[in-house]
Structure 1
Amino acid sequence: MRAGISPAETGGPGVGPLRLTEREFTLFQTLVEREAGLHLGPSKQALLVGRLSRRVRALGLPSFGAYYRLVTARGNEEERVRMLDCLCTNETHFFREPEHFEFLRQRVFPEWTQRAAQGLMERRVRVWSAGCSTGEEPYSLAMALLSHFPRGSGWGVEVLATDLSTWALERAKQGLWPLEKAASIPRPLLRAFMLEGVRSQEGWMKAGRELREVLRFARVNLSDECGWPTGPFELVFCRNVLIYFGAQARARALSALLRRLPPTGYLFLGHAESLTGSAEPARCVAPNIYCANSPPPAGQGTP
């Protein structure tokens, strides 16, 4: 997470801070919500100043108004992407909300195993981490999946990791984190799938080849379904992402995410999120876990 506002972002010692007028803030609010679905309420004005000041200074521009004219100029898509990178909140950790991973272990994985044995599903699963940030979530999913469906078991596993932020995606692709991040990874999975750095990489850990082989990365804007990957996905994790969206953009995204699920697929949201506003029918099967509004698989009742 890019936290706080440093002196450099407000001009630094001896340099006057950049001032954002109310009109300029309104213009950026409209632009950011239109481009990415992100809603900047009145309380976010200081955040916008903090996140964009450094970029405005780096470009040698005199004001936020000049920067707004730049990012809205025709053909300046690259700078709009840079602007959105600055505004993304990249906060995450491994196996966040552990009860979701326990749900996978206790219910979903046995369900898949049973259905495959009955010839009701292929031994192939696709999972989407929508809003993957710096990668801890999709790598956690890959570890959980491969620990139950390892190579040579006859199962194919694919984890698609997407984010709006190009900066976060590049970090995720590297699969490299400070060693203190290992504390939230269950020890058996840590030993099986992570490599501890030595010599120049001491103090770091890196995702092993087995994880890397099942992961794919792409930049996806969740406010624009036209650029989304096609489904279906047996699991979609979109946690602590849509809380930053405006109501209409959030409802559209939720409905579109549910449409990416097969009848037996699951959508996982963050602890402060729900399906409020979505027009797509769905049912809650556990806290913040949803599936399409269809009957449970044979022999399985509603929990």
Structure 2
Amino acid sequence: MRTATSSAVPIAPGIGPLPLTDREFSLFQALVEQEAGIHLGPTKQALLVGRLSRRVRAMGLPSFGSYYRLVSSRGNEAERIRMLDCLCTNETHFFREPEHFNFLRQRVFPEWTRRAAQGLMERRVRVWSAGCSTGEEPYSLAMALLSHFPPDSGWDVEVLATDLSTWALERARQGLWPLEKAASIPSPLLRAFMLKGVRSQEGLMKAGPELRSVLRFARVNLNDERGWPPGPFELVFCRNVLIYFGAESRAQALSGLLHRLQPTGYLFLGHAESLTGSAETARCVAPNIYRARGDLT
């Protein structure tokens, strides 16, 4: 008798003999890429098992095959969202890739100040953190922006934070982290914008009201531009997100991100990402930083 596949990956010990066949894995690969643009290569089979096995059991289902039939059928969008939540990688920290924040302070912020003084730019800044995870990136951006353009300076600052994961977004909205996360925040910004938890929140830090006042949160799927926020934005940060995408989905997402920028806006990518393969014309102005259009000096 022929078996369904030549190999299978078992679920972690203690949960029971619930294998994932190669055919089932290929079905999940196609579904996840179709829904979210995320490409699960052959080496990610064990990862899928590890992250979805608990959910399969929680649903009371006997196999990955039955779970696939559930999430791939019409009318089960809520469970597809839960599945993608399980598969999302939420790794981040405050002021990640510090050279990007140095670029903002040393080049972008002075440029905006000069252009606003010349009447070439409104004193209004919109920033999009696309793939914000648990919030460290957009809160870092808000701190950097408000330290240079405080509310009483006449500047209007808005930071839109979006992610595919509903779980990560909820954490980001809370603006609450373990106190050890403070180590990567510059001391002046930490004192100005973060609150130290007391009593029931001892050992935690919380984003202060000034930060919260400029932040907005929304679930956005970067693989479906129909649900994207309207531009234009002065800055778009999409770092260490598109490395998980397939080539076609990555190119489409990059094209959409560039189109959401102001003509003189900046796109920030992660250290392992680039615009290679994108049909859009953009100028690299610093490592992993691109200007969409225009050529200001």
TM-score (norm 2): 0.96
1:85, CA displacement in angstroms?
0.3
Question: What is the CA–CA distance in structure 1 between the aligned matches of 2:44 and 2:177, rounded to whole Å?
Answer: 29
Alignment partner of 1:205: what SS?
strand
Partner of 1:19: 19
Partner of 1:178: 178
1:179, CA displacement in angstroms?
0.2
Question: What is the CA–CA distance in structure 1 between the aligned matches of 2:294 and 2:282, rounded to whole Å?
Answer: 8
Partner of 1:255: 255
Alignment partner of 1:40: what SS?
coil
Counterparts of 1:28-43 in structure 2, within 5 Å, are 28-43=28-43
1:269, CA displacement in angstroms?
0.1
Alignment partner of 1:231: what SS?
coil
Matched AA of 2:282:
A
Counterparts of 1:53-132 in structure 2, within 5 Å, are 53-132=53-132
Alignment partner of 1:171: what SS?
helix
Alignment partner of 2:24: what SS?
helix
1:11, CA displacement in angstroms?
5.4
1:195, CA displacement in angstroms?
0.1
Question: What is the CA–CA distance in structure 2 between the aligned matches of 1:182 and 1:102, rounded to whole Å?
Answer: 19
**Is the 2:263–2:292 contact (alpha carbons within 8 Å) kept by the matching residues of 1?**
yes
Partner of 1:169: 169
Question: What is the CA–CA distance in structure 2 between the aligned matches of 1:226 and 1:179, rounded to whole Å?
Answer: 38
1:73, CA displacement in angstroms?
1.6
Measured against aligned partners, the alpha-carbon deviations of 1:110-129 in whole angstroms (never above 9, x if no partner) come to 00000000000000000000
1:12, CA displacement in angstroms?
4.6
Question: What is the CA–CA distance in structure 1 between the aligned matches of 2:295 and 2:184, rounded to whole Å?
Answer: 36
- Count of equivalent residues: 288
Matched AA of 2:291:
C
Question: What is the CA–CA distance in structure 2 between the aligned matches of 1:87 and 1:74, rounded to whole Å?
Answer: 20
Alignment partner of 1:172: what SS?
helix
Structure 1: runs of 5+ lacking an equivalent: 1-8
Alignment partner of 2:290: what SS?
strand
Alignment partner of 2:153: what SS?
coil
1:55, CA displacement in angstroms?
0.1
**Is the 1:162–1:218 contact (alpha carbons within 8 Å) kept by the matching residues of 2?**
yes
Matched AA of 1:56:
V
Alignment partner of 1:279: what SS?
coil
Matched, 1:196 2:186: no
1:64, CA displacement in angstroms?
0.2
Partner of 1:154: 154
Counterparts of 1:131-150 in structure 2, within 5 Å, are 131-150=131-150
Partner of 2:11: 10
Question: What is the CA–CA distance in structure 2 between the aligned matches of 1:17 and 1:152, rounded to whole Å?
Answer: 62
**Is the 2:234–2:261 contact (alpha carbons within 8 Å) kept by the matching residues of 1?**
yes
Partner of 2:228: 228
Alignment partner of 1:93: what SS?
coil
**Is the 1:284–1:290 contact (alpha carbons within 8 Å) kept by the matching residues of 2?**
yes
Measured against aligned partners, the alpha-carbon deviations of 1:174-199 in whole angstroms (never above 9, x if no partner) come to 00000000000000000000000011
Partner of 2:278: 278
Sequence identity (%):
84
1:68, CA displacement in angstroms?
0.2
1:211, CA displacement in angstroms?
0.2
Measured against aligned partners, the alpha-carbon deviations of 1:8-65 in whole angstroms (never above 9, x if no partner) come to x93553x423210011000000000000000000000000000100000101100000
Question: What is the CA–CA distance in structure 2 between the aligned matches of 1:124 and 1:153, rounded to whole Å?
Answer: 11
**Is the 1:161–1:218 contact (alpha carbons within 8 Å) kept by the matching residues of 2?**
yes
1:280, CA displacement in angstroms?
1.1
**Is the 1:10–1:54 contact (alpha carbons within 8 Å) kept by the matching residues of 2?**
no
1:293, CA displacement in angstroms?
3.6
Question: What is the CA–CA distance in structure 2 between the aligned matches of 1:10 and 1:292, rounded to whole Å?
Answer: 46
Question: What is the CA–CA distance in structure 2 between the aligned matches of 1:154 and 1:227, rounded to whole Å?
Answer: 31
